[in-house]
Amino acid sequence: MTTEDFRPEKEATTFYPPQRILMGPGPSDTHPRVLAAMARPTLGHLDPVFSEMMDEMKGLLRYSFQTKNMMTFSVSGPGSVGMEMCFVNMIVPGDKVVVCRNGVFGGRMIENVERHGGTAVVVDDDWGKPVDPQKVEDALKQNPDAKILAFVHAETSTGALSDAKTLCEIARRYDCMTIADTVTSLAGSPIYVDEWGIDAIYSGSQKCLSCPPGLSPVSFSERVTDLVKNRQDKVHSWFMDLNQLLGYWGSSTRTYHHTAPTNALYALHESLLMLSEEGLEHSWARHERNHQALKAGFATMGINYLVEEQYRLPQLNSVFIPEGVDEKEVRRRLLDDYSLEIGAGLGAFAGKVWRFGLMGTSSKVENVLFCLNALETVLSDMGMNLERGAAASAAHRYYADNPMS
């Protein structure tokens, strides 16, 4: 044997990804400014210049979460690591946690609770419905020893938005701390961490922040950091232990914890800067306006929404697939012929709904019009009787009647 015997059979070449338009459940398109930021020189992660950038980023994150929490930073890992970080730090084995499940991600929260030695009290709601606050209140009444309430603000699997403010109010009344999943809501829907009293919150870089995947913005209240500081047992994860990270993110004299993914953090910094330039309210309104225009276009094709109007996420449009349509073929044609990615349904909705993301940079007028034209053409070509151009016209009309203030 020589080293040559271990070469791959197919000769590797430089990878050039095609330019897609990402309108699925995430990732969304990365803004060119953010991509450019990533390509800048790598710095040592304890370099004072890098530390300055990180401090600035913490400030930008506090703005995007609307919080003054000291412990606001980004976890080096995707949204799922942010999720696990909340649970592993806050659950002491034996703790009872009320978990709301109205889609895929609530199910993952239950997994987290159980793997970290907690007991999950599950509050189930149908997929496509928001979390029912009355059911949560009943569960807390019946379980006065519950320590934490965990819920998903924006269920990406269905496109339903839950009332985080009310859920947090209820938790407070029963002396419960809260864990909120805002992976898909941050920058797309209003979030007020301090005003609503969310104790632990996590998000992701690749949904409405227009960043590549791999980072998870998080924020913890003082109640959480006190709890973790005063734990009798060691947190059951070395990497995610908040006590260890306090020395890195919590102080100005940074000591080595792990090598921060410097270039990925330049990207997040740039995307948060863009969000602060745009302004949160403007970003929320932009997501809403593009959603309404897309909806107007869908209506011309008889395409209806899964979620009731008042609970719909503007950034994640789950719609029923028209009857008799080969939905896989539609998605294949959109990808192959239009380089447009949309999402399939999950669980019970596999084959029944499509999920159209309008997240971050992807939430823009030209994407809405392009997507409606592409879908209308593909469906017409596959035999549906549609008036060509009607969908985009309806969207145009919505835009004309509802200018961005």
Ligand X SMILES: *Cc1c(COP(=O)(O)O)cnc(C)c1O
Residues that bind ligand X (CB under 6 A): 26, 78-80, 83, 105, 152, 156, 181, 183-184, 204, 213
In terms of CB distance, is 78 or 322 closer to ligand X?
Answer: 78
Question: How many C-beta atoms surround the C-beta of residue 192 within 10 A?
Answer: 15
CB of 231 to ligand X, least distance (A): 25
Structure tokens at 78: 């995707």
In terms of CB distance, is 125 or 137 closer to ligand X?
Answer: 125
CB of 204 to ligand X, least distance (A): 4
CB of 276 to ligand X, least distance (A): 22
The pair phi, psi for residue 189, each rounded to 5°, is -135, 150
CB of 85 to ligand X, least distance (A): 12
In terms of CB distance, is 156 or 221 closer to ligand X?
Answer: 156
In terms of CB distance, is 184 or 210 closer to ligand X?
Answer: 184
Q: Which amino acid is at 203?
A: S
CB of 50 to ligand X, least distance (A): 23
In terms of CB distance, is 162 or 290 closer to ligand X?
Answer: 162
Cβ-contact 376, 390 below 8 angstroms:
yes
Residue with tokens 């890195």: 248
Question: How many C-beta atoms surround the C-beta of residue 323 within 10 A?
Answer: 7
The pair phi, psi for residue 332, each rounded to 5°, is -65, -45
CB of 104 to ligand X, least distance (A): 8
Structure tokens at 155: 């269920």
Structure tokens at 182: 């805002």
| Residue showing the smallest CB distance to ligand X in the complex | 79
Q: Helix, strand, or coil here: 380?
A: helix
Q: How far apart are alpha carbons 192 and 164 in whole angstroms?
A: 9
Q: How far apart are alpha carbons 142 and 266 in whole angstroms?
A: 47
In terms of CB distance, is 106 or 297 closer to ligand X?
Answer: 106
Structure tokens at 127: 């997929």
CB of 182 to ligand X, least distance (A): 8
Angle, alpha carbons 27-218-153 (nearest 5°):
65
Cβ-contact 279, 85 below 8 angstroms:
no
CB of 78 to ligand X, least distance (A): 3
HEC string for 297-310: HHHHCCCCECCCHH
In terms of CB distance, is 211 or 260 closer to ligand X?
Answer: 211
Helix/strand/coil percentages in the chain, nearest 5 = 45, 15, 40
Q: How far apart are alpha carbons 152 and 184 in whole angstroms?
A: 9
CB of 32 to ligand X, least distance (A): 22
In terms of CB distance, is 150 or 275 closer to ligand X?
Answer: 150
Find residue 23's DSSP bridge partners: 342
In terms of CB distance, is 152 or 330 closer to ligand X?
Answer: 152
Q: Helix, strand, or coil here: 344?
A: strand
CA distances (Å), 343 to each of 155, 216, 303, in order? 14, 22, 15
